[in-house]
Chain A
Amino acid sequence: MANESALIARILAGETQLFHQLIRPYEKLVYVTIFAIVKNETEAEDAAQETMINAFRHLASFRGDAKFSTWLVTIAMNEARKRLRKLKAGAEDSLDDTKEESEGDYTPAVLTDWREIPLAALERKELREKLREAVAMLPEKYREVFVLRDIEELNQEETAAALGINVTLVKVRLHRARMMLQKMLVPYLKSQAPPRGGFFRRWLS
């Protein structure tokens, strides 16, 4: 963005107050990226602040060949990973992530009595909560890709750059993340259609 690079040049030239303006469009991006990884509001907020401070301190190392937003997400992702390691070090569980790419079950849940649910049902608040819980349960490497591609809507190349992996791996992990979510969420996505038979049987008898 032309405005953005002008803004960055002025900040580097000493008008540091403009940094507030520079990051305003990305406040949510940074917070949500971190929150979806660390799964803790307080930690995510602090990490988001750190991210912005780091971005300010290292602004001179930003090269215009990447988008500013991608650069910022890279910093946010590193901060989130650092926090997560710290949080995990304190906890017992280490269910994660060292499994080979080929392991695991990434087939979707098969629905035998599926009916397209009305769009209105997606309005349910409970469903959004279930989605957040399901995303939080994804193994880290899948969660990272899902967050950047489907929550932040970065493209494949940007996602690959921010995570330091190649585009093929982005595709593979995204597919698996989506299939895992489909499996976890299907019980909540089904339409609550009334059982067939009762009403008409009464008519027919």
Chain B
Amino acid sequence: MKVECKHVWEHISGYLDQQLDPDLLAAVQQHLETCEVCSAILDSTRNILVLTADDRTYELPVGYSERLHERLAAVLASGSSTG
């Protein structure tokens, strides 16, 4: 199976999530080995996901936890948990 660039782009996400079935995976992999454009797209997308998963990308506001538990304490003191 031979695939075009545009076809590969549709499967970048599936490729990164390791969800392509074996035939398609082989075709995409083969294409990536020889196509700089598509490997660049793959690399840049992968970099974005690495950055997204970085704990420092989204941080909690200072004092968030304290304020949360304070407010909860007031609710827990006054009410019970029901369905």
Interface, chain A (partner B; CB < 8 A): 11-12, 14, 16-17, 19-20, 23, 27-28, 31-32, 35-36, 41, 45, 48-49, 52-53, 56-61, 107-112, 114, 116-117, 122, 127-128, 131-132, 135, 150-151, 153, 171, 174-175, 178-179, 181-182, 185-186, 189
Q: For the complex, is B12 an interface residue (Cβ under 8 Å from A)? A: yes
Contact residues in A for B41 (Cβ distance below 8 Å): 108-111, 182
Output the residue of A27, A111, A122, A135 with the most chain B CB within 10 A.
A111
- CB neighbours (8 Å) of A179 from chain B are 9, 12-13, 45
User: What number of A-B contacts does a CB cutoff of 8 Å give?
Assistant: 138
Q: Which residues of B contact A (CB under 8 A)?
A: 6, 9-10, 12-14, 16, 19, 36-37, 39-41, 43-45, 47-54, 56-58, 60-61, 64-65, 67-69, 71-73, 75-76, 79-83
Q: With contacts A178-B48, A189-B44 known, is A60 near B82, CB below 8 A?
A: yes
Which of B36, B65, B71, B75 contacts A114, CB < 8 Å?
B36
Decide: A19 near B37, CB < 8 A? Known: A52-B68, A122-B51, A186-B44: no
Instruction: State the main secondary structure of chain A at its contact with B.
Output: helix
A-B contact pairs, 26 of them (CB 8 A): A11-B81, A14-B80, A16-B76, A16-B81, A19-B76, A27-B64, A27-B68, A31-B61, A32-B58, A41-B61, A45-B68, A48-B68, A52-B72, A53-B71, A53-B75, A57-B81, A58-B81, A110-B40, A111-B37, A122-B54, A128-B54, A128-B56, A131-B51, A150-B52, A178-B13, A185-B48
